[in-house]
Structure formats: C-alpha cells, structure tokens
Structure 1
Amino acid sequence: MDDKAILLRYLRARRGELLAKINGLDEYDVRRPMTPTGTNLLGLVKHVASVELGYFGEVFGRPSGRELPWFEEGAEADADFWVPAGESRESIVELHRFSAEHSDATIEALPLDAPGEVPWWPEERRHVTLHQILVHMCVETAQHLGHADILRELIDGSAGKGPGDPNLSPRNTEQWAAHRSRIEGAAREASA
C-alpha cells in the first residue's frame, strides 16, 4: 500500500468514526452545546465536512459546486460549528457523505505532490501539496473526533468505538467509578 492509500484509509476511518458519534442520539443530544464555546456533535460533523470540501476542492482547483451559506461573506461567525433547528440532521449527514465523495475523487485523481493553494492561509504557508493537505485533514478530523469522543461520553457514557474497543480497559460501571474516584483522589492530594 502506498503513502496516499494509507493516508486515505486513515482519513476514511476517522470520518466514519466521527459520523458514528451521532448514532442513536435524539435531535437535542446531537445539537446541544456541551462546552462554554458551544461545541456539539452535529456541529463537529458539519464543520469537518465543510472544511474538507474547501481543502480538497478549492485548494486544488476542483470546486464541488456545493454552496455553503455558513461560509459566505457576512455569515455569522462559527456558523459551521452548529446546526440551527431549520437544518436537518439528514442534510448534515448527506453533506458529510457528499464531502467525502468529492474529497476522495480529488485524492484519487491527483498525485501526492500535486500543488495547491490555500487562499485563507497566510501567504508564506499557502502553497501546499496534496500530501500536506491529506495530513492536515487527517489531523483535523482526528482532533474533532477526539472532541466528539468526550462529548458523547458526557451525553450518554459511550466511550471510544463502543463495547469491545481495544483501546479501552474492559471495566464495568462500578469499576469505572472506582477508577475515576482514585484519579480524583490523586488530583486532590497533588493539589494540597
């Protein structure tokens, strides 16, 4: 497997894991702000899909043709990070799938050293390659997946990729509570 195929495999996996974070939740839970800055699950999906369209579209002269009103001039700041009641979950999931298909087509069509230009980056950094942008989007998607992991755990206790995730210790609810209590105790002792 070559470098491009490896990076694309990682990007696809993180996309799927991010989208899975909204599964099984009602409309309130996927939209509700969980942090003081308003971070919410459906907003993270919307943001990642939106920026991916830009990075694998405009940056390489392959615009998707998809209008994103939250990025238009005069749009409300951070409008790509939340979903108003009038926007459906289905429309965001469809945007996520559309964005992935468009991005994958760009990635598959171009070599890793294909040049691009990121007009919203500072002049000294805006000239890039597909390789750079693939790494950038793998990192950005993983970062927002980490946010989503925490939000989902706060909403309903689901952690990681679900039951059987090899990255999580196999503990029951009581064991997790005891583990958390031990960590809390250590934090209090260290701060004394």
Structure 2
Amino acid sequence: MIDDFAKEYLHSDLREIRETMLWKLDGLGEYDIRRPLTSTGTNLLGLVKHLAIWESRYFGEVFDRPFPEPLPRWDDAGERGADMWATENETREEITDRYCRVWEHSAATITALAIDSPGYVPWWPRPNVKLFNILVHMLTETSRHAGHADILREHVDGATGTTAPHATPRHDSAFWEAQHTKIERAAKAAVTELGQERQPFTTPRVQPQ
C-alpha cells in the first residue's frame, strides 16, 4: 500500500512540475524562448529539450524499456551540450511534443514496474538503482530546471509563478525599481554593520559516520 502511494505521489508531483516547464514558454516569441539568457547560454527551450532527452533515458534505457525514437547518445562526446539549446531547424512544437511523448513513455514504465524494480544507470558512479531512485531524481532534476526557467522568464518579461492560476501578480517597473533599491540598500548596510573584513561563511560539512 505505502509503495503504491509513494509511487503515485512522486509521479503526481513530477506531472505538475513538467507542466510548469511548458508554461514558461507560453506567450513568448521564437527569439525569447531560444536566446541565451546567461553567460553560459542557458535558455528556456533548451531546458525543455534537455529534460525531454534525459527523462526518456531515465525511464527508458535504465529499465531496458528504451524510448522508441532516436535521440543523441549520452556517451557521445560530439553531442555533449547539444541537448541544452535548439537549432534553427528544430521547432518549438517538435521539442514540446517530444517532451509530451516522453511523459507517456515514462508513465508506461512507472505503471508497469514496482517501485523497487531494479534499473541500471551506466553514467552514475553507483549504477544499480530502483524505480524509486529514478522517480526522486527526475522530480529533483525537473524542479531544479523549473527554478532556472522561472528566473529566465523573469528576465524576459517579469512573469513568475508555477502555473497560470498561480502566477505572481504583475507590478510596474516603478514597483520593482523600489524593491531593488530597498534590497540593495540592505545589502550595503549589512557590509557596513558586519565589517568588510569578515571572512566569507562556509557551510560546515557533516562527515558520514
């Protein structure tokens, strides 16, 4: 009973965060979903492409249930990084539709297998896994990139939130300029209060027993 609950709970959260990823593209033109928005080239459509490819692997070949469409190999050095951006010949629909087909393939794997079913991830240091590990991993990975997408979308047009019904209310530029100024002032005051010579804080690491 608890295994079925855990599997459905994780899968449900994964379904929700995937929808968030696609929503981040809504209302934007081709250039804005493709253009690099960080110094390393991170972009909105590239994040969706990346997640589609890697989810297809994790719920596919890891459990000997390969996704039935050709995708670049994970161990092909010539393809490294190509999953993080869209070429001029790849359409938005091509990438988002593939992502939705990957969801269907993943759902078939999740439904067919028990949560403790074994899998093998050849690119992990400890490659022997269970379906539970992969559900947690893909939920974590997708949530991480949804956070990236939220910040990228904010840079484009100020839109933030998880879904249309839960979008953050829009404010004008004067509101955000005042907010920015307030936070900047607090940051500078903290330096004065705490002293500029204070050593950067390092979070202590707990050593494994």
TM-score (norm 2): 0.84
Assess if the C-alpha contact under 8 Å between 1:110 and 1:130 holds in 2.
yes
SS in 2 for 1:116: strand
Match of 2:121 among 115, 118, 123: 118
Secondary structure, aligned partner of 1:75: helix
Indicate the percent of aligned positions where both proteins have the same amino acid.
50
- Secondary structure at the aligned position of 2:129 is classed as strand
Length, aligned pairs only:
188
Q: Which amino acid aligns with 1:186?
A: A
Aligned pair in 2 of structure 1 residues 111, 30: CA closer, same or farther (>3 Å)?
same
Q: Secondary structure at the match of 2:78?
A: coil
Deviations 1:74-127 (A, max 9, x none): 5332000000101111110111111111011101111100000001112xx110
Structure 1 pair 78/49, CA: closer, same or farther in 2 (3 Å)?
same
**TM-aligned CA distance change 1:110 to 1:162, over 3 Å:** closer
> Which residues of 2 match residues 1-192 of structure 1 at below 5 A?
2-69=5-72, 71=74, 73-122=76-125, 125-161=126-162, 165=166, 168=168, 172-173=171-172, 174-192=174-192
In 2, Cα distance between equivalents of 1:4 and 1:76 = 33
Q: Which structure's CA Rg is the greater one?
A: 2
2-structure distance, mates of 1:8, 1:104: 8
Residues 70, 80 of structure 1: 8 Å contact kept: no
Q: Distance in 1 between matches of 2:116 and 2:102?
A: 22
Q: Is the 8 A contact 1:71 1:80 kept in 2?
A: no
Instruction: Give, in whole Å, the separation in 2 of the partners of 1:129 and 1:71.
Output: 20
RMSD across aligned C-alpha pairs, in angstroms?
1.9
Which deviates more, 21-30 or 178-187?
178-187
Letter in 2 for 1:16: E
Q: CA deviation at 1:71?
A: 4.4
Unaligned runs of 5+ in 1: none
Whichever residue aligns with residue 104 of structure 1, its letter is A
Q: Which residue identity does 2:76 align to in structure 1?
A: E
